Amino acid sequence: MQIATTIEEVRTLVKSWKKEGCTVGLVPTMGYLHEGHGSLISRAREENDKVVVSIFVNPMQFGPGEDLDSYPRDLEKDSAYCESLGADLIFHPEPSEMYTEGFCSYVDMSVLTEELCGLSRPVHFRGVCTVVNKLFNIVAPDRAYFGQKDAQQLAVIRRMVEDLNMDIQIVGCPIVREEDGLAKSSRNTYLSAEERQAALVLSCAVTCGQELVAAGETDAKKIVAQMKALIEQEPMARIDYVKAVDGLTMQQIDTVKKPMLVALAVYIGKTRLIDNFIV
């Protein structure tokens, strides 16, 4: 496995792979990898001849006061993990490599980015769309892999690829959870032991919502209300949002219909965690 820090290195290597007729899978990450990322890398390994994992804490998708500086980083551990899963290349650029002096071009989106996380993190998706677009241009993958935990991000990227006529297959992979149900996240490392226990309220709320749908509840507002009530019982939890939205447009809906995304963002102490389920 190789580690590249420049765009030129990546392009040179990928061009040589393409000349050999190899397919390329890309797994974009911000590093501090866990089993959720591992499931994406393993899926990419199964479906492609070559696998590229990008590890880049993208400053553009962090707003003022967010955790850019404190976001966990461990390239040595990440590299060993990627190699154990059969990755061929890690792309680990510096911000100055991705955003040269005078950088002023962005990929923006409306509608899908104006709900859920887009409301509380207004610059987030412009940063996501811009960096993912750049990664697609640099790596030129046949397939790119994203986790369902970031369901809005997955929908946004799928829409971007469709709207901009990109010849890339976007593969969504299921949420990977801890044994007790908490969705795997690099930000889980911020939680104290007490907060870690309190964080289980997110997956409990997801289970509650799923059970209501399975029981035949068709009123999305009732589902959301019961999920909120459950979360509010946890003193350490502060709700950012719990919403039922159309799975394609991210717009709020009142009646259960397919595809529906029920998504939540909750602060446990100072740590913002997300979870969701799809109908």
Q: In this structure, is the dihedral angle defined by the CA atoms of residues 59, 62, 63 and 67, taken in order, positive or negative?
A: negative
Rounded-to-integer distance, Cα 100 and Cα 103, Å: 6
Q: Residue 124 catalytic?
A: no
The helix (run of H) or strand (run of E) holding residue 169 is strand 169-173
- Give me the amino acid identity at 204: C
Structure tokens at 207: 């289970």
Nearby residues of 20 by Cβ (< 8 Å), 6 or more positions away: none
Helix (H, G, I), strand (E, B) or coil at 75: helix
Helix (H, G, I), strand (E, B) or coil at 272: strand
CB 3: neighbour CB atoms within 10 A? 16
Q: If we measure between CA atoms, which residue out of 124, 187, 190, 185 comes closest to residue 152? A: 124
Rounded-to-integer distance, Cα 218 and Cα 156, Å: 26
Q: What is the CA radius of gyration of the chain?
A: 19
Q: If we measure between CA atoms, which residue out of 147, 124, 132, 149 comes closest to residue 261? A: 149
Residue 174 DSSP label: P
Rounded-to-integer distance, Cα 53 and Cα 88, Å: 8
Whether residue 28 is preceded by a cis peptide bond, meaning omega within 30 degrees of 0, is: no
Q: What amino acid positions are annotated as catalytic residues? A: 37
